[in-house]
Amino acid sequence: MNVLIISTPATGHLNPLLAIARMLIADGHRVDVLCGTCFRGRIEQAGAHFYALPGSADFDGRDILSVVPELKAVEPGLDWLRIALARIFIDRIRDQHAGLLNALRATSADIVIGDDMFFGVLPLLLGPRAGELPVLLCGTSVLHSARDDGAPLFMGLLPATTQEELEAHARIAQEYSVCVDQPTRHRLNRLLAEMGLGPVSVPLFESVVHLADTYLQLSVPGFEFPRAFPPSVRFVGALPIIPDQAPLPAWADDLDGSRKVVLVTQGTVANHDLDLLIGPTLAALGDEDDILVVATMGGRPVEALAGTVPCNARIAEYLPFEWLLPRIDAMVTNGGYGSVNQALSCGVPLVAAGLTEDKADVNARIAWSGAGIDLRTNTPESKAIRRAVRTVLDEPEHRRAARRLGAEFATYDTQAEILALVRSYAPAGRGGLRITAA
């Protein structure tokens, strides 16, 4: 089959899609990838053919504050979210969609696979679908479907279990609707009308969950708040880590089992200020003689870290997670969905601190599942980090919950499920019908 992968140009979105691309290429499929030019090398290295997004869609999501400078002056919260949704996603739909149509003309694709935030696919999903190209979207974040308790997305709210909590969620949902959902939906529907398309009746992120032919949630049900999931949703577990993306560090032999190993990461998006999490974690654990702290800079140079590195710390720009995760005892994270699921698939308990992007929602699931501690802040103090790390290392509760989730992940053959699903959409199975990109 000819597969067209469409990706938001951000590491956390592209990485899982490249893992899928590698599976498909090994299975004999041709894979083309539409993404930002900053990722061309990684895409071609994976064996796929690269197509560049045009215009405003061709940005570098590794530095969101450069893409949307006005976010620098806005604290995490509803205003930050409204601006981010408008500027990062909605305002780029037209150029994303143009790039998608150009790629469809060039590739004769049999199927489109995209990430959950490539909203340039919305015009395709909203148009006539009979006999057209199947679209599979991958949930690279928490599942964006309505909750039974009415809690809105991105607010980090735990499931309501009492009438008082339901009423509190309703008040937050009303404020969210006025500040975020209504202006965002108005902006989106105005754009869609200009493109000759009807409005969406549900929030932006929820719309693609319902409209996709299949929505692959890259996790397990045990890490998602209980509710009735849309029929399009299929949990497939954690994707295998792409191997050999970073060399073994010179200090690899220091992970010899003599000390507990704690990994700290700020990911590749919210790492503009390393004093948000990496710095405070190094300070928090620097005097813990029984702990070896390992920090990955997410591509930032090691020299970007201010201050003296403690003797029990080891640092690298990137680290090979396929080697590292089985060797760690806990992870301190700001809540990147992909790395959190990878850690949980290895049974690793977590300490989380992060509020931007989707991180409050990811971290709420860490707390709800019992697999770790959510510090519920973007700027944790060292003493809070130390206390939380000692808790997940020294007390069995969180470790047991993380291992329980690890066992659930182990029940999924993620690669086999994805390959079988893609094959089920082969043209012969659809009567040989194919989209004509106008």
- Structure confidence at residue 418 (pLDDT): 98
The answer to whether 278 and 302 have CB atoms below 8 angstroms apart is no
pLDDT reading at 437 higher than 50 = no
The pTM for the full model equals 0.93
Cα 402 to Cα 348: distance, rounded to the nearest angstrom = 6
Whether 2-237+412-430 and 252-409 share one fold: the answer is yes
E strand segments, 266-366: 291-296, 313-316, 330-333, 350-352
Domain ranges within the chain, ordered by starting residue = 2-237+412-430, 252-409
pLDDT reading at 322 higher than 60 = yes
The answer to whether 332 and 389 have CB atoms below 8 angstroms apart is yes
Q: What kind and span of H or E run contains 47?
A: none
**Collapsing DSSP states into helix, strand and coil, what is residue 51?**
strand
pLDDT reading at 268 higher than 90 = no
Q: What's the gap between Cα 228 and its chain centre? A: 22
Give residue for tokens 């004769």: 108
Of 18-27, 198-207, 216-225, minimum mean pLDDT range? 198-207
The mean pLDDT of 426-436, rounded to a whole number, is 53
Interhelix angle 93-107/182-194, rounded to 10 degrees, is 50
Count Cβ atoms within 10 A of the Cβ of residue 375 and give its class: 0-12 exposed, 13-18 middle, 19 or more buried. buried
What is the identity of the amino acid at 232?
S
pLDDT reading at 179 higher than 60 = yes
Each as own residue / partner, the long-range contacts of residues 434-437 (CB below 8 Å, 24 or more positions apart, any chain) are: 434/108, 434/110, 434/133, 435/104, 435/109, 435/124, 435/132, 435/133, 437/101, 437/102, 437/104, 437/105
pLDDT band at 269 (very low <50, low <70, confident <90, very high): low
pLDDT band at 243 (very low <50, low <70, confident <90, very high): confident
Count Cβ atoms within 10 A of the Cβ of residue 368 and give its class: 0-12 exposed, 13-18 middle, 19 or more buried. middle
Length of the chain, please? 438
User: What CATH architecture applies to the domain 2-237+412-430?
Assistant: 3-Layer(aba) Sandwich (3.40)
Q: Chain-wide mean pLDDT for the chain?
A: 93
The answer to whether 310 and 282 have CB atoms below 8 angstroms apart is yes
What is the identity of the amino acid at 6?
I
Q: What is the pLDDT of residues 343-354, one digit of tens each?
A: 999 999 999 999
- Cβ within 8 Å of residue 394, ≥6 positions away: none
Partners of 138 in beta bridges: 115, 216
Assign 3-state DSSP to the chain and report helix, strand, coil percentages, each to 5. 45, 15, 40
Give residue for tokens 């009567």: 431
Written out in words, the top-level CATH class of the domain with range 252-409 is alpha beta
Q: What is the pLDDT of residues 61-92, one digit of tens each?
A: 988 889 999 999 998 889 999 999 999 999 99
pLDDT reading at 129 higher than 80 = no
